[in-house]
Amino acid sequence: MTTFLPDEPASPTRRVAALAERLLTPHGIDRYLELVDPMLVRNEIRGEVKRVRRQTADTVTLTLWTSKAWQGFRAGQYVRVSVDIDGVRRTRCYSPANSQHAAGRTLELTVKVDPKGLVSRYLYENAHAGMVLGISNPGGEFLLDERRPERLLFISGGSGVTPVLSMLRTLSHEGYPGDVVFLHYANTADDVLYRSDLAALADELPGGRVALGYTHADSGADLHGFFTPEHLDEVAPWWRDAQTYLCGPPGLMDSVRDAYTEAE
Ligand SMILES: Cc1cc2nc3c(=O)[nH]c(=O)nc-3n(C[C@H](O)[C@H](O)[C@H](O)COP(=O)(O)OP(=O)(O)OC[C@H]3O[C@@H](n4cnc5c(N)ncnc54)[C@H](O)[C@@H]3O)c2cc1C
């Protein structure tokens, strides 16, 4: 006999679904539901592409609507995205860029093409509205403290912007009143992701500032060249006292870490 927990009302739909789940073992109901419509799955998570944007020449931004099992994420986490390519299921990690407080079951992912890579290139070339991707539960410990600090500094480079943007959007949703500086590096102006969103966030956050650094252009940015500790002195003189979040290519990560070790 099927039993239900007291706080889960045994609606006729739930009873039928639970019974079907048992009868359909070992494959489970999701194997059959996805033959009808992949978004009907109950226990696994799928994301249907609703919108495709190409913000820069080598990235694609996907807005997904997730299936019912999705329970949200915390800013800074990642999800594993699965896609079938030539009959083989491939899985890669991507960090949602939207706020953790965003309404509904929306997920925004920005994928930077690795020219020699498989999944990023496939998504860049083939993603279209209606495409359905496998999505995992979120994971990762790159998270904002539950108790928001008074000063925050975010540093990112390239596609490392995604988890950091999610944090900034989350703070904006929460009306974060503290000082927050976001220092983002890109090759040139053409490579800056989310440019207008970043400008809007700088306005929305009362103590907010966004500074751009171009590593391969001599003008047009707040800072030029690769990261140096002087960049921090310029955009966030209080950086030694701030809680700092860093996400980017290994060279950037190493030089920022060196600056902090030096400052200790
Ligand atoms: C926590 C986390 C979050 C991430 N978030 C994002 C994000 O938000 N946005 C984003 O764009 N990326 C993100 N990434 C990176 C992403 O997961 C993928 O690694 C990236 O998209 C490349 O995948 P790919 O399948 O295109 O490349 P792959 O096919 O995995 O190849 C990657 C590189 O490895 C080389 N390679 C492949 N096979 C071999 C081999 N057999 N021997 C030697 N070299 C090989 C390729 O030449 C290529 O340069 C994240 C990664 C992690 C771990």
Q: What is the pLDDT of residues 174-223, one digit of tens each?
A: 999 999 999 999 999 999 999 999 999 999 999 999 999 999 999 999 99
Closest CA to 34 of 4, 68, 81: 68
Residue 147 in contact with ligand 1 by CB distance below 6 A: no
Question: What's the pLDDT at 110?
Answer: 98
d(CA 47, CA 107): 8
Q: Where are the domains of the chain?
A: 35-135, 151-263
Which amino acid is residue 181, in one-letter code? V
Residue 93 in contact with ligand 1 by CB distance below 6 A: yes
Mean pLDDT confidence for 139-165 = 97
Q: Could you tell me the pLDDT band of residue 10, with boundaries at 50, 70 and 90? A: low
Residue 76 in contact with ligand 1 by CB distance below 6 A: no
Ligand 1 pocket test, candidate residues 90, 118, 194, most atoms within 8 A of CB: 118
The protein residue with its alpha carbon nearest to ligand 1, atom 32, reads 117
Residue 78 in contact with ligand 1 by CB distance below 6 A: yes
Share of the chain above pLDDT 90, in %: 83
Q: What is the pLDDT of residues 58-104, one digit of tens each?
A: 999 999 999 999 999 999 999 999 999 999 999 999 999 999 999 88
Mean pLDDT confidence for 138-155 = 97
Interval between CA 257 and ligand 1 midpoint (Å): 23
Tell whether the model's pLDDT for residue 162 goes beyond 60. Answer: yes
Burial 39-74 (b: 16+ CB within 10 A, else e): eebeebbbbbbeebeebbebbbbbbbbbbeebeebb
Q: What is the CATH number of domain 151-263?
A: 3.40.50.80
Ligand 1 pocket test, candidate residues 116, 135, 191, most atoms within 8 A of CB: 116
Q: What is the DSSP letter of 1?
A: -
3-state secondary structure 66-117: ECCCCCCCCCCCEEEEEEEECCEEEEEEECCCCCCCCCCCEEEEEEECCCCC
Residue 116 in contact with ligand 1 by CB distance below 6 A: yes
Residue 95 in contact with ligand 1 by CB distance below 6 A: yes
Q: What is the DSSP letter of 223?
A: E
Q: What is the CATH number of domain 35-135?
A: 2.40.30.10
User: Is-same-fold flag (35-135; 151-263)?
Assistant: no
Interval between CA 44 and ligand 1 midpoint (Å): 24
Higher pLDDT, 196 or 27: 196
Interval between CA 114 and ligand 1 midpoint (Å): 7
3-state secondary structure 106-168: EEEEEEECCCCCCHHHHHHHHCCCCCEEEECCCECCCCCCCCCCCEEEEEEEHHHHHHHHHHH
d(CA 130, CA 242): 43
Atom of ligand 1 nearest to the CA of 163: 8
Q: Evaluate whether 78 touches 93 at the Cβ level (below 8 Å).
A: yes
Question: What's the pLDDT at 1?
Answer: 33
Closest CA to 50 of 65, 68, 70: 65
Residue 59 in contact with ligand 1 by CB distance below 6 A: no
Tell whether the model's pLDDT for residue 4 goes beyond 70. Answer: no
Residue 114 in contact with ligand 1 by CB distance below 6 A: yes
User: 121 to each of 79, 95, 116, 126, 145, how far by Cα in Å?
Assistant: 18, 17, 8, 8, 34
Interval between CA 201 and ligand 1 midpoint (Å): 29
Higher pLDDT, 29 or 235: 235
CB atoms within 10 A of CB 142: 17
